[in-house]
């Protein structure tokens, strides 16, 4: 076999080493593919363990309901056959006393109380005080003694709530995040009007994000147009006005807006100096919705300008000239010939700005006051202050779902491969 591409008796083309060429090529392809996979694998594993699994675990917390089942195992077993029509039998009360005594001893019973309190307020104090008193109970029958410990044990609803939460998973946090709850009989109903906070908050987050996105389009369009049509040596200089804010620390820009907008700040000083407002009635521009919108628009504007600019840069000026020479007036030519060509840029920038703003945390937390905060701030509150991690998980999962939906939209419009940075 001296030739590189010999042919065997059955007509199969052979490579230099005598193997069929097809096998050789396949082997090379497999090797190539393996090499690609091996290059991607370290990062993929790293992101999987340090990011994807933690995020998934966090969303699992929104349905996890281990408290009652784990910390009150006897009651859970005894309630399995309870029909829910009337206060349970003595056997359930006996089991309850066992669990309360064990929980009081291990000091874990408070967790059950806290968990049940999310479903029905007042349950925490009932559980903890009963657990304390249960230490004195030494012999049955327990039913009458427990009913005397706390009047809520006579409520059928108490037992409905406990029974419902013996299940290892719950939709309770999601109901809470969607302003719904279980009523006395266990039916799912809307919260009363004055307690619907998260629905309003989601709605407000969407509305503020939409407003910021629209303001960004309006502000970015003219300057992108100017940047795209000016000669390069001018536009490169003007580009600094967009890129410098883009590269400046988020906290620096937020600090700057505090200096600009506070009541003794630069803008108010100017207004007073020019006599627009009285020194006594300085405008409240910060720690409210106005502050959030102004600061976030400033922070996100470069994310609108950059994609818009890169689309406008590719539009040849000849189309506009053709429209004008065919007799369209400049306004009509602009709206009907130029603008449709920039739609992809508007779409890309809008989705990007919208995605970034619905998940925003830092700026609203610092300049938002009470009416300028977003859903992220509420998640942080439940993570750090109220420690209701299940509700934080449910709110986070809902936010994540909307961001992922928008991301797929972005991917459809632009394609993640075409994302441009800087």
Partner 1 sequence: MALPSYAGPLETTWYYAFRLICACIFIFLITPILVIIPLSFNVEPYFTFTQGMLTFDADAYSLRWYEDFLSNTQWTHSVKNSFIIAIASTILATILGTLAALGLSNSNMPYRSLAMGLLISPMIVPLIISAAGMYFFYSNIGLDQTFLGIILAHTTLGTPFVVITVTATLVGFDHSLTRASANLGANPTTTFFKVIMPLILPGVISGALFAFITSFDEVVVVLFLAGFDQRTIPRQMWSGIREQISPTILAVATILVMISIALLATLELLRRRSERMRGMSPG
Minimum Å gap between C-beta 36 and partner 1 is 4
**Contact status: 201 vs partner 1 (CB under 8 A):** no
- Identify which range of 41-49, 115-123, 181-189, 285-293 contacts partner 1 by CB under 8 A: 41-49
Among 52, 167, 335, 405, binds partner 1 (CB under 8 A): 52
Among 57, 70, 81, 281, binds partner 1 (CB under 8 A): 57
Kindly compute the dihedral angle of the four CA atoms of residues 202, 204, 209, 213, in this order, to the nearest 10 degrees.
140
Residue 375 has which token pair?
């859903």
Kindly compute the dihedral angle of the four CA atoms of residues 327, 331, 332, 335, in this order, to the nearest 10 degrees.
140
Q: Is the peptide bond before 141 cis (omega within 30 degrees of 0)?
A: yes
**Contact status: 147 vs partner 1 (CB under 8 A):** no
- The nearer residue to partner 1, 8 or 401, going by C-beta atoms, is 401
**Contact status: 20 vs partner 1 (CB under 8 A):** no
Q: Binders of partner 1 among 339-398, rule CB under 8 A?
A: 355, 358-362, 366, 376, 379-380, 383-384, 389, 392-393, 396
Among 39, 144, 322, 343, binds partner 1 (CB under 8 A): 39
User: Which among 207, 145, 197 is positioned nearest to 176, based on CA atoms?
Assistant: 197
User: Which among 272, 155, 135, 290 is positioned nearest to 212, based on CA atoms?
Assistant: 290
Minimum Å gap between C-beta 244 and partner 1 is 6
**Contact status: 243 vs partner 1 (CB under 8 A):** yes
Give the Cβ contact number of residue 176 at 10 Å: 21
Q: Could you give the count of Cα atoms lying within 13 Å of 319 in the half-sphere of its Cβ?
A: 15
Contact 337, 307 (CB under 8 A): no
- Identify which range of 12-20, 149-157, 185-193, 222-230 contacts partner 1 by CB under 8 A: 222-230
User: Which among 191, 194, 192 is positioned nearest to 176, based on CA atoms?
Assistant: 191
Which residues are paired to 181 by β-bridges? Answer: 189
- The nearer residue to partner 1, 144 or 240, going by C-beta atoms, is 240
Contact 131, 103 (CB under 8 A): yes
| Residue-by-residue DSSP string for 54-120 | HHHHHHHTTTB-HHHHHH-HHHHHHHTT--SSSSPPHHHHHHHHHHHHHHHHHT-HHHHHHHHHHHS
Among 36, 144, 197, 343, binds partner 1 (CB under 8 A): 36
- The nearer residue to partner 1, 190 or 226, going by C-beta atoms, is 226
Q: Binders of partner 1 among 329-348, rule CB under 8 A?
A: 330
**Contact status: 252 vs partner 1 (CB under 8 A):** yes
Contact map string, positions 82 to 111, toward partner 1, x by CB under 8 A:
------------------------------
Among 8, 16, 37, 207, binds partner 1 (CB under 8 A): 37
**Contact status: 321 vs partner 1 (CB under 8 A):** no
- The nearer residue to partner 1, 125 or 229, going by C-beta atoms, is 229
| 334 DSSP assignment | I
Among 8, 44, 189, 277, binds partner 1 (CB under 8 A): 44
Helices (H), 120-197: 123-134, 143-149, 156-164, 172-177
- Identify which range of 10-18, 49-57, 127-135, 178-186 contacts partner 1 by CB under 8 A: 49-57
Minimum Å gap between C-beta 187 and partner 1 is 31
The percent of the chain in helix, strand and coil, each rounded to the nearest 5, is: 70, 5, 25
Among 42, 192, 275, 340, binds partner 1 (CB under 8 A): 42
- The nearer residue to partner 1, 102 or 226, going by C-beta atoms, is 226
Residue 416 has which token pair?
């993640």
**Contact status: 403 vs partner 1 (CB under 8 A):** yes
Q: What is the CA radius of gyration of the chain?
A: 32
Q: Binders of partner 1 among 260-319, rule CB under 8 A?
A: 260, 262, 264-266, 269, 298, 301-302
Q: Binders of partner 1 among 160-179, rule CB under 8 A?
A: none
Among 74, 77, 226, 283, binds partner 1 (CB under 8 A): 226
């Amino acid at each position: 076999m001296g030739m590189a591409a010999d042919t065997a008796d059955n007509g199969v083309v052979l490579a230099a080493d005598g193997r069929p060429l097809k096998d050789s090529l396949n082997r090379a392809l497999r090797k190539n593919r393996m090499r690609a996979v091996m290059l991607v694998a370290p990062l993929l594993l790293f992101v999987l363990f340090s990011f994807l699994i933690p995020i998934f675990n966090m969303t699992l917390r929104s349905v996890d309901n281990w408290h009652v089942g784990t910390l009150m195992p006897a009651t859970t077993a005894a309630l399995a056959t309870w029909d829910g029509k009337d206060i349970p039998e003595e056997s359930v009360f006996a089991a309850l006393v066992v669990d309360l005594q064990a929980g009081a001893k291990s000091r874990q019973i408070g967790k059950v109380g806290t968990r049940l309190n999310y479903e029905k307020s007042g349950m925490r104090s009932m559980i903890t005080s009963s657990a304390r008193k249960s230490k004195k109970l030494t012999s049955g029958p327990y039913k009458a003694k427990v009913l005397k410990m706390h009047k809520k044990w006579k409520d059928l609803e108490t037992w409905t709530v406990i029974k419902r939460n013996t299940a290892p998973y719950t939709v309770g946090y999601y109901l809470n995040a969607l302003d719904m709850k279980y009523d006395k009989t266990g039916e799912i109903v809307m919260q009363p009007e004055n307690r619907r906070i998260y629905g309003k908050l989601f709605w407000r987050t969407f509305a503020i994000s939409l407003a910021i996105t629209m303001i960004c389009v309006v502000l970015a369009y003219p300057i992108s147009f100017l940047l795209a049509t000016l000669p390069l040596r001018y536009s490169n200089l003007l580009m600094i006005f967009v890129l410098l804010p883009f590269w400046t620390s988020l906290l620096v820009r937020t600090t700057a807006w505090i200096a600009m907008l506070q009541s003794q700040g630069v803008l108010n000083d100017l207004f007073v100096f020019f006599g627009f407002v009285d020194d006594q009635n300085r405008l409240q521009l910060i720690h409210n919705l106005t502050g959030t919108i102004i600061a976030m628009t400033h922070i996100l504007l470069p994310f609108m300008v950059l994609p818009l600019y890169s689309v406008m840069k590719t539009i040849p000026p000849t189309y506009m000239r053709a429209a004008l020479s065919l007799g369209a007036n400049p306004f009509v030519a602009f709206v009907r010939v130029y603008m449709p060509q920039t739609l992809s840029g508007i779409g890309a920038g809008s989705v990007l700005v919208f995605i970034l703003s619905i998940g925003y945390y830092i700026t609203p937390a610092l300049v938002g006051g009470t009416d300028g905060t977003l859903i992220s701030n509420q998640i942080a509150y439940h993570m750090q202050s109220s420690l209701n991690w299940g509700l934080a998980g449910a709110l986070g999962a809902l936010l994540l779902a909307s961001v992922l939906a928008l991301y797929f939209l972005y991917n459809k419009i632009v394609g993640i491969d075409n994302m441009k940075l800087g």
